[in-house]
Amino acid sequence: MAVLVVALAAPAAVWAQGRLSGELEIFSWWAGDEGPALEALIDRYEQLYPGVKVINATVTGGSGVNAKAVLKTRMLGGDPPDTFQVHAGQELIGTWVLANRMEDLGFLYDQEGWQKVLPQQLIDLLSTDKGIWSVPVNIHRSNVLWYIPDNLKKWGVSVPKTWDEFLQIAAKLQAQGVVPLSLGENWTANHLWENVAIAVLGPQKWQALWDGRLAWTSPEVLKAWETFGKVLQYTNRDAASLSWQQATDMVVHGEAAFNVMGDWAAGYMSTTLGLEAGKGFGWAASPGTSGIFVMLSDSFGLPVGSPNREATLAWLEMLGSREAQDIFNPLKGSISPRLDSDLSKYNTYGRSAAQDWRNSTIVGSLAHGVVANERFMNDFATVMEIFLSTRDPQAAANAAQAVAAQAGIGVR
């Protein structure tokens, strides 16, 4: 039976002859809500390769704070897992690729024809001139504005298309005792900053910022900090003590009108809170970013010295397949990066996001590791603290420029 399944499912792979054996250790921070989606992938893998013993090495902790520390001690100690979860893009490239710790997966892309089914803009973000470094499993969108349609009607406001429009609406909302935009802890402030900055700069200049073609102290970026400062005036005072879920709750409970968050918020509202997509909650591209898809992606790569290379390649090959992605993403609440994914398997929000994925300009997220390396991201949290304390665009811009120079942004 197993042989039959293998023969039907993976005709292309050379290693998928049912002879694959040994172990496969998968290192990730997918626990809790995301656990079942990973389990489903592992189940599928075990069906395909019954000879391989899969070790699910999950280290809990939001966005991998703990997992990344564990991973680093393991890699430095010469005990790499077979494959590990990592935010696609510079978080991987600026950390592990730069250190020559990853294998180029370009041959896998050629062999599986992924270049044809993945958007070129995505592949650019995953690559350097030396190769393509990971296989993206999912895509999340980070530039989404969330609201409750009925509440907006009650307050007599519409969804803002630009930040200027938002600032006008915000005064009106504040007069009614409503927080115009709910905000959470430090990283959600980074997330909001990125949304404002992309709106002010536009996709080309945003990319130029990361290539070093646009200075952090340029007037455009200063303008972004200024706009961000204005928007911040309309957020809740207790932001720093709220998680992103609590900030979303403020919108759901009618204390706040809008929230900018990634589209995992859709999963939270529809699955955890039981709201109906489109009716119970509504969404739009965050102000000034319609036609732009700010993406982040979880991906897996192949570390140099992976103890079970063959089994890992089989895992990566499966991850990139349309079938595995359509098993994983509806459960995780994300979409598949593949342009040929089966949209009937996704919910209302997912279908809308997948449409946008196919029709928008794709840019990478800063807050979620696509465009900047870990060192920059870590120090950017301090830049944000400087701004939140001083509210001085020039001070923040100077600090960001210094951080970029130290972190080697723009000298790729």
Partner 1 sequence: MRTGKDRLLAGLMLAPSLALLAVFVYGFIGQTLYVSFTDWGQGAALALNPEIHFVGLDNYRQLFSGILDVRFRQDLVNMLFFTLFFVALCLGLGLLLATLLDRPLRGEGFFRTVLLLPMSLSFVVTGTIWRWLLQPRGGVNVLPALVGLPRLDFLWTTTRDQVFRFNWQDVPGALLLGVGLVLVLLGVRAWRRREARKAGLLGVPGLVLVLWAALGGAAGWSLVPIKELHGFNLALVGIVMAATWQMSGYTMALYLAGLRGIPVELREAAEVDGATPLQVYRYVQLPLLQPITLSAVIILGHIALKIFDLIFAMTGPDNAVTSVPAILMYLTTFRGNQFAKGASIATLLLLLVSMLIIPYIVSSLRKAPER
Q: How far is CA 251 from CA 11, 12, 127, 178, in A?
A: 49, 48, 38, 10
CA distance 185 to 381: 11
Out of 31, 53, 402, 410, the residue judged to bind partner 1 by CB under 8 A? 402
Of 9-17, 36-44, 134-142, 397-405, the segment contacting partner 1 by CB under 8 A is: 397-405
Q: What angle do CA 143, 272, 285 make, to 5 degrees?
A: 15
Give the type of residue at 258. Answer: F
Question: Would you state the structure tokens that stand for residue 175, as one six-digit string?
Answer: 């007069």
Residues within window 41-70 making contact with partner 1, judged by CB under 8 A: 65, 68-69
Residue number with CB closer to partner 1 (3 or 99): 99
Residue number with CB closer to partner 1 (16 or 247): 247
CB 309 to partner 1: min, Å: 17
CB 362 to partner 1: min, Å: 26
The answer to whether residues 337 and 343 touch, using CB atoms and an 8 Å cutoff, is no
CA distance 320 to 323: 9
Q: How many residues does the chain have?
A: 412
Residues within window 326-385 making contact with partner 1, judged by CB under 8 A: 373-375, 377-379, 381-382, 385
CA distance 337 to 330: 13
Give the type of residue at 115. Answer: Q
CB 286 to partner 1: min, Å: 22
Using CB atoms within 10 Å of the CB of residue 169, give its burial: 0 to 12 exposed, 13 to 18 middle, 19+ buried: buried
> How many residues at the interface with partner 1, by CB under 8 A?
40
Residue number with CB closer to partner 1 (327 or 397): 397
CA distance 379 to 388: 14
The answer to whether residues 24 and 52 touch, using CB atoms and an 8 Å cutoff, is yes
CB 7 to partner 1: min, Å: 40
Write the binding mask 157 to 196 for partner 1: x where contact by CB under 8 A, - elsewhere: ----------------------------xxx---------
Q: Other C-beta atoms within 10 Å of 176: how many? A: 12
Residue number with CB closer to partner 1 (132 or 403): 403
Residue number with CB closer to partner 1 (91 or 112): 91
CB 13 to partner 1: min, Å: 30
CA distance 70 to 144: 32
Q: Does 72 engage in binding with partner 1 (CB under 8 A)?
A: yes
Question: Would you state the structure tokens that stand for residue 86, as one six-digit string?
Answer: 């990592």
CB 345 to partner 1: min, Å: 35
Q: How far is CA 324 from CA 9, 112, 338, 411, in A?
A: 11, 14, 11, 36
CB 154 to partner 1: min, Å: 22
Evaluated on CA atoms 97, 103, 107, 109, the torsion sign reads negative
CA distance 180 to 32: 31
Q: Does 241 engage in binding with partner 1 (CB under 8 A)?
A: yes
Q: Other C-beta atoms within 10 Å of 393: how many? A: 18
Q: Does 96 engage in binding with partner 1 (CB under 8 A)?
A: yes
CB 51 to partner 1: min, Å: 31
Q: Does 99 engage in binding with partner 1 (CB under 8 A)?
A: yes
Q: Does 389 engage in binding with partner 1 (CB under 8 A)?
A: yes
Out of 117, 208, 388, 392, the residue judged to bind partner 1 by CB under 8 A? 388
Q: Does 238 engage in binding with partner 1 (CB under 8 A)?
A: yes
| Contacts to partner 1 by CB under 8 A | 65, 68-69, 72, 75-76, 94-96, 98-101, 185-187, 237-241, 373-375, 377-379, 381-382, 385-386, 388-389, 398-399, 402-403, 406-408
